[in-house]
Amino acid sequence: MVYETYGEPNEDKSNVIVVCHAFSGSHHAAGRYDDDKKPGWWDALIGDGKAVDTTKYYVICVNVIGSCYGTTGPKSENPKTGRAYGLKFPVITIRDMVRAQKTLFARLGIFKAKAIIGGSMGGMQALSFAVEYPDFAKIVIPMAATHATSPWVIALNKVAQSALLADPAFDNGNYDIEEIRQNGLPGLSAARMAGYLGYISPGGMSGKFGRNYVANDGLFELFGQFEVERYLDYNGNNFVKWFDPLSLLYLTKAINIFDISYGYDTLEDALARIESSLYLLSFKGDTMFFPSEMQNIAKIMQKQGRENVSYICIDSDYGHDAFLVEVEKFADLVADILEGKV
């Protein structure tokens, strides 16, 4: 398990905040190393004097199992064979990710948390923490998530998986990682492009790109591009340089099979276990995990007479990735929640 911490724990470790990363994120949630081209993925939210204030709180972010940033994953060495696990790595679940983190926290002497915060797959982890370990965190803030992955998201992930598996260079998972980073892997690039259809809403695409055409491309050149096409090409090709293809397969599988009610008689039974103060944040323009999905969790808990749940829809047209891109729209809210003002 690879993790990163920010700030200092107080004497009784009552100021611990767990941050859960999304699908292609990592333990590097904030700050900048000397060789970083950009800071950690939630640097706008976490740091001294920021919403998650590291002068007050001790923040820990753990790279999930199955990912490719140091925690055991499909490209890790199988001690039984001396070779990478590859496609023999077991299917993992969001619950597995949370269980592994909980084990790590115990090893670090962390048995309680002030709060757990995460978006998208990180929000799924936050919800899973709340259900599986009801007395662990006082506050849980899932963002842009759901209680069970919808057919729409499963379909988007299927397109991404199929693009990757159709590329001969994937070689049934037996590729050389350095070779594909140097030469590219079109299937993984296309998979990333498919992902952006969920990450940015149609309105977000229009606002970001419009119908702007690349200035030095001819409109009637067959391979001339709109700016949105160039953006997808750029991000798809770059993705190969820093993310692992097998991790894409395993993490999208974990997202697809996520259902917080799995193992319980009903969704109501699962949600009834939550003791934390639950703050559900959705984003109006999210066309991946629709606001109604988060609102439904709140409605069920409120029908149970629960007063420990709040639902807030952030006014944003950007899309699913608003929890990463438009931090300024909810940072003050998060700060107020942590300080007990909401």
CATH of the domain at 178: 1.10.1740.110
What's the pLDDT score for residue 113?
98
List 189, 286, 316, 321, catalytic entry: 286
What's the pLDDT score for residue 125?
98
The model's pLDDT over 137-180, given as tens digits with 9 standing for 90+, comes to 999 999 999 999 999 999 999 999 999 999 999 999 999 999 99
Q: Which of 210, 238, 254 is the last residue of a domain?
A: 254
List 120, 128, 276, 277, catalytic entry: 120
Same domain, 244 and 276: no
Q: Which of 254, 284, 310 is the last residue of a domain?
A: 254
CATH of the domain at 123: 3.40.50.1820
- CB atoms < 10 A from the CB of 147, how many? 22
Mean pLDDT of the chain: 97
Same domain, 166 and 232: yes
Same domain, 100 and 164: no
CA distance 62 to 125: 11
Average pLDDT for 306-321: 97
Same domain, 136 and 162: no
Active-site residue flag, 316: no
- Domain residues for 93? 3-150+258-338
Same domain, 123 and 266: yes
Active-site residue flag, 217: no
Same domain, 63 and 205: no
Number of domains in the chain: 2
Burial 71-91 (b: 16+ CB within 10 A, else e): bbbbbbeeeeeeebbbeebee
Name the percent of the chain lying above pLDDT 70.
100
Same domain, 239 and 297: no
Same domain, 176 and 294: no
Please name the residue that has the structure tokens 């067959």: 222
Say what the pTM is: 0.97
Active-site residue flag, 24: no
List 27, 28, 147, 320, catalytic entry: 320
Same domain, 9 and 106: yes
The model's pLDDT over 196-238, given as tens digits with 9 standing for 90+, comes to 999 999 999 999 999 999 999 999 999 999 999 999 999 999 9
Same domain, 163 and 223: yes
Q: Which of 110, 143, 108, 98 is nearest to 13 (CA)?
A: 110
Q: Which of 254, 286, 317 is the last residue of a domain?
A: 254
Same domain, 296 and 323: yes
